[in-house]
Structure 1
Amino acid sequence: MIAILGGSGLDRWPQLGTLTPQSVSTPYGEPAAPLLCGRIDGIAVCFLPRHGAAHSLPPHRINYRANLWALKQAGARAVVAVATVGSIPAHIPPGALVLPDQIVDYTHGREATFFDGDCLDDAGSRVEHIEFTEPYDAGLRAALLAAASDAGIALIDGATYAATQGPRLETRAEIDRLERDGCHIVGMTGMPEAALARELALPYACLAVVANRAAGRGGSSLLAEIEQHLAGGIAAAQRLLVAALPGLAATCQPDPGTAPAPGNPL
């Protein structure tokens, strides 16, 4: 099953009408909304809007642990997370789709790990150190790139995602700092989501929709830019996700000879 985490602008889309709501409880509380599970074009899919069904959860209040645990419990073998972002360099315009390959975490105060002294598994409480050198799964990224090429959908390959706290947008000086740090796009939900997926041994990729130029990089109101470009970018992301489902499913077929990852608490 492929899990899709919806971000701002991707709370619902026509294909989801064929999916069935499924309530899942977790040791970390309730996920943002009931999961929508079923099949799209014959591929098992599970959809969860990370901000809630009514888009009521700000980035710092999302229960990332419950969201990821619920998807794993429902049978997800991989996660594609759609995220709305701002762009820092001029070569990434509003409306573009970006497939980041790195991330820098500027968030604070979020529940960022399952291994915080009360991990609920057979081994009891323990600390695990996950490798996070490459935060996004290579197989999922390759499947998305191939689907975009086949469907004629422009997809920028490679960028560093700056995960900021939100919910406010950044200052011009903050964006200058992110640029000096080597970041290309900026959003508010990339962490701890990516790291939690790694702790659960869930392959994870981010499909970023550029809604605006970051603070100090454009000539108009950021909120006006978001309103202007978000719908078109989300529509392109929806087309790409549907086109990519067969390839994504092929990358996450279970290998019967592979043991569960030691950091997997399920």
Structure 2
Amino acid sequence: MTDTMIGVIGGSGIYDIEGLEGAEWRDVPGPFGAPSDRILTGMLDGMPMAFLPRHGRGHVHSPSSVPYRANIDALKRLGVSDVISIGACGSFREEMAPGDFVIVDQYIDRTVAREKSFFGPGCVAHVSVANPTCPRLGAACATAAEASGSRVHRGGTYLAMEGPQFSTLAESRLYREAWGCDVIGMTGMPEAKLAREAELCYASIAMITDYDSWHPDHGEVDVTAIIATLMGNAARGKVMVRALPALLRGARTPCPHGCDRALDHAILTAPEHRDAAMLARLDAVAGRVLNGPAH
């Protein structure tokens, strides 16, 4: 077992993490290209941590241009074991109000313009994402978020849309009323799928900024209002992160939900038919199984 190392992927409004000892912005090259930005590494309360701004410092990546594969690959190469994803979202539920945090446990993926797997021709794999987030890690994030003073909803279905435009009124009503979604965002997928392929425990904290366009008293999504709420969310999100080492330290054992063993029976391509170039690209995310004696 690897030691615990927390990797934080910060969404809109979260471009760094304060209080890291020995903080250093590092380049982490990999076979899937450059990640969104250099990665900030250091120690937080005695635990190693890596922080990656999803959109890059200065917010240079749109939701569709974020290099999701490079981001997850880079975190895995650094030794990250637990990924905390933080991002802004809209709400479809009256009781899930702007300023609240939602610990996402399900997704509906409506993105269409993104690479969604590390695998492909030459090494085919199918992982289960029936339960795409790690309950153990999600529970720790919920406890940390509550300690930050946030109102937290433990569980919610996230509609991942392509963007960059916000929803039409018809779409918003469809996702809320017919599909039963709770929140909507633009970056939750394929990040969660890729984390599972990389055998990383993954938790998603969706920070609500607005009610999307369905709400009769909310009107159209207003970016100015979103930014105001986002800044308050971001401050509490950073407090939440600082509480995580105390909740996650201790002797590390295998994930009780199998996140760190997701590839055990996932690779279908016979060893003699695997493409060498593809295997080289997978050295970090799938090295545990590809280099094992049984494979």
Question: Structure 1 length normalisation: TM-score?
Answer: 0.90
Structure 2: runs of 5 or more not aligned? 267-284, 288-295
Contact in 2 for aligned 1:18/1:40 (Cα 8 Å):
no
- Residue 177 of structure 1 corresponds to 174
Whole-angstrom CA distance in 2 between matches of 1:48 and 1:174: 31
Query: Is residue 113 of structure 1 aligned with residue 111 of structure 2?
Result: no
> Structure 1 residues 175, 213: CA separation in 2 closer, same or farther (over 3 Å shift)?
same
Contact in 1 for aligned 2:39/2:50 (Cα 8 Å):
yes
Letter in 2 for 1:22: R
Alignment of structure 1 residues 48-127 onto 2, 5 Å: 48-117=52-121, 125-127=122-124
- Residue 158 of structure 1 corresponds to 155
The 3-state SS of whatever aligns with 1:79 is strand
Q: Give how far 1:95 is off.
A: 0.9
Whole-angstrom CA distance in 1 between matches of 2:116 and 2:78: 21
The 3-state SS of whatever aligns with 1:104 is strand
Q: Give how far 1:221 is off.
A: 4.8
- Residue 247 of structure 1 corresponds to 247
The 3-state SS of whatever aligns with 2:199 is coil
Q: Give how far 1:56 is off.
A: 0.4
Q: Give how far 1:204 is off.
A: 0.4
Whole-angstrom CA distance in 2 between matches of 1:212 and 1:111: 28
Letter in 2 for 1:155: V
Q: Give how far 1:18 is off.
A: 4.9
Whole-angstrom CA distance in 1 between matches of 2:149 and 2:16: 24
Whole-angstrom CA distance in 2 between matches of 1:249 and 1:4: 16
Whole-angstrom CA distance in 2 between matches of 1:155 and 1:246: 19
Q: 1:143 aligns with which of 140, 164, 183?
A: 140
Letter in 2 for 1:55: H
Structure (1 or 2) with the larger CA radius of gyration: 2
Q: Give how far 1:155 is off.
A: 1.2
Letter in 1 for 2:286: P
Q: Give how far 1:227 is off.
A: 2.1
- Residue 185 of structure 2 corresponds to 187
The 3-state SS of whatever aligns with 1:245 is helix
Whole-angstrom CA distance in 2 between matches of 1:13 and 1:139: 23
Contact in 1 for aligned 2:107/2:157 (Cα 8 Å):
yes
Runs of 4+ in 1 over 6 A off after TM superposition: none
Q: Give how far 1:12 is off.
A: 2.2
Give me the CA root mean square deviation: 2.1
Contact in 1 for aligned 2:213/2:221 (Cα 8 Å):
no
Q: Give how far 1:247 is off.
A: 1.6
Contact in 1 for aligned 2:37/2:56 (Cα 8 Å):
yes
Contact in 1 for aligned 2:213/2:220 (Cα 8 Å):
no
The 3-state SS of whatever aligns with 2:64 is helix
Q: 1:210 aligns with which of 208, 211, 217?
A: 208
- Residue 133 of structure 1 corresponds to 130
Contact in 1 for aligned 2:91/2:183 (Cα 8 Å):
yes
Contact in 2 for aligned 1:18/1:38 (Cα 8 Å):
yes
Q: Give how far 1:90 is off.
A: 0.7
Q: Give how far 1:2 is off.
A: 0.3
Q: Give how far 1:21 is off.
A: 1.0
Contact in 2 for aligned 1:215/1:222 (Cα 8 Å):
no
Q: 1:198 aligns with which of 196, 199, 207?
A: 196
The 3-state SS of whatever aligns with 1:177 is helix
Q: What do the CA deviations read for 1:187-244 (whole angstroms, capped 9, x no partner)?
A: 0000000000000000100011111111132146521320221111111111111112
Q: Percent identity at matched positions? A: 34
The answer to which of 240-249 and 11-20 deviates more is: 11-20
Q: Give how far 1:249 is off.
A: 4.2
Q: What do the CA deviations read for 1:41-82 (whole angstroms, capped 9, x no partner)?
A: 211100001111221000101110000000000110010000
Contact in 2 for aligned 1:85/1:209 (Cα 8 Å):
yes
- Residue 224 of structure 2 corresponds to 224
Contact in 1 for aligned 2:46/2:245 (Cα 8 Å):
no
Letter in 2 for 1:207: I
Contact in 1 for aligned 2:100/2:150 (Cα 8 Å):
no
Aligned residues: 257
